[in-house]
Structure 1
Amino acid sequence: MTKAFSYLYEGTIWKIDIHELSGMLAIEWRDQDGLPYFSVIHYPSGRLLSDHIHYGDRWWTLAAVNANQLFLQHYPQPNQGQTQGLVAIDIHSKQVTWEQFNLQFVELTQEGIAVKQRFSDTNAVSLLEPLSGSILENHTLLNKLSPLPRNIRSASPVHRTPPLPITSTLVGPYFFLETDGKELWAYHERKEDKLQLILTVIQEHNVQFKECIVDRLDHLLPEVFFMVGQQLFFVTNNKREIVSYFV
């Protein structure tokens, strides 16, 4: 395995979205005051395309990302009656390309952005053109639209054990994922008074890779990594860092 990239943020990672067709990874992280910032990485190359994108108050959050734009959605503030909205930001210039209010983001599809109009009580959605935000269609059903590819897999805790001994200080379950004949085993080990997360890759009953991914943990991590294509992603360092490896 080879390391693809690692990026450390000044706050806690709250949300991640991936656009597989363009290889874009969008990250929302928040500072101590809860204000959101956004970062976009071209994950196959590891290039950081945009960082410290900021828009609005703490009620704005990541909706989706595509090849050129970052989409943020707004939630109404409690007891203030502010409406929902959607904004598009150019990834490279960080400039707002359009804003739309009185609607709710539903899903980014191959045909466009599916949204629900304010006060709509039907299952119908409207379709927005991503580059301009203009309405392509006022009334359609979500199941008639084509979803974007979603081939994200996560390691799951299992009761089975690896085919050969890989640890003598196991704490908690093994997490397992298999890809192209390679067995990916993630697990926690005790190290003095702390825990560490180890990743071991086994192929044909031989250990191909073994490395500590996260050190000095106080508690077991409920989720250890996810995989897109042949690339692994870990959120580490108290949810302040994202690290990726090619399998």
Structure 2
Amino acid sequence: MTKYTINKAFEKSFPYPIWKIEVDCTKKCIAIEYRNPDNTRPTFAVFDFRGQDLLHSFIEQEKEWTLEAVQGDYMILKQFGSNTPIKEGIKIVHIPSKNIIYTGMEYILHDVFEGYIKAAHRSIPSGLDFYINIQTGEIQNRIITPLNYPLIHVHYPLPYTGKLPKFMQSLAVEDTIWLQPIRNNFIWAYHTKAHDSYNLHLCLSSRSEIFDTKIILDNLTKLIPQPYFQVEDYIFFLSNTKQEIVAYLV
């Protein structure tokens, strides 16, 4: 019988807490937005599913810019206001070179498709859409080719409310157990108590036995309400400080 295991793929640390995460499953990369708590200015990073940096850091001086999407070699940012938009804005960054492909302060971002951003002009009445080519920054008010959403397969585990299988019944689990099928097997996530702190476990099993178990996060001061997200065969965890992201291959 094949032995299934949980293997750490990589671990990334950031100087400030992570605010947003966007994934591109076609390119197999992840974009991260993290912010300095003192001035709330954002910095952006992009890396692939092996942990290799594609964009180490891209710092924005204006705090109103935020991550909207990552698509191939391009990162898409949009500008926002705290209550109402200060000024609408869209920015496209070429990841390998850090060059700005396009900046438009007069457009409001409505949606992101494969190769195009759908936007509206703030001074033109509603009903007229514009399409910004992500690779070139060119704008057109009609498009002939069908628009498709990019491939993004992000999944979250669900709380398990059924009867536990025998191999799980002896575990001293605290609070919720999460379950997610993966191919012909199952991923379980749960907390256990260790003195005055908690440990977060990841368990890989079949229908009848446990293959492998790992403590993913330890010495937690509180339970994590959403333990991870899954992209294809990778499980991604955020630390309780939100300054580290850890990936496991299952």
- Alignment TM-score > 0.5, same fold: yes
1:109 maps to a residue whose letter is F
SS of the aligned residue for 2:141 comes to: strand
- Of 119-128 and 69-78, more deviation after overlay is shown by 119-128
1:186 and 1:147 map into 2 onto residues whose CA distance is: 30
2:132 maps to a residue whose letter is L
- Alignment RMSD, CA only? 2.1
1:175-214 pair list within 5 angstroms: 175-214=178-217
After superposition, the C-alpha distances for 1:65-85 in whole angstroms (9 at most, x for unaligned) are 111111111113558x73110
Partner of 1:215: 218
Partner of 1:128: 132
1:89-168 pair list within 5 angstroms: 89-119=93-123, 122=126, 124-135=128-139, 137-138=140-141, 145-166=147-168, 168=171
2:213 and 2:124 map into 1 onto residues whose CA distance is: 53
Q: Is the 8 A contact 2:12 2:51 kept in 1?
A: no
Partner of 2:76: 71
1:197 maps to a residue whose letter is L
Partner of 1:58: 63
Partner of 1:173: 176
Partner of 1:48: 53
Please point out which of 74, 78, 86 is paired with 1:82. 86
Aligned pair count reads: 242
TM-score (norm 2): 0.89
Q: Is the 8 A contact 1:100 1:133 kept in 2?
A: no
Which one has the bigger strand percentage?
A: 1
Q: Is the 8 A contact 1:63 1:105 kept in 2?
A: no
2:205 maps to a residue whose letter is I
1:119 and 1:220 map into 2 onto residues whose CA distance is: 47
SS of the aligned residue for 2:226 comes to: coil
2:161 and 2:82 map into 1 onto residues whose CA distance is: 44
Residues 1:16 and 2:21 aligned together: yes
Structure 2: runs of 5 or more not aligned = 1-5
1:111 and 1:99 map into 2 onto residues whose CA distance is: 16
TM-score (norm 1): 0.90
Q: Is the 8 A contact 1:12 1:30 kept in 2?
A: yes
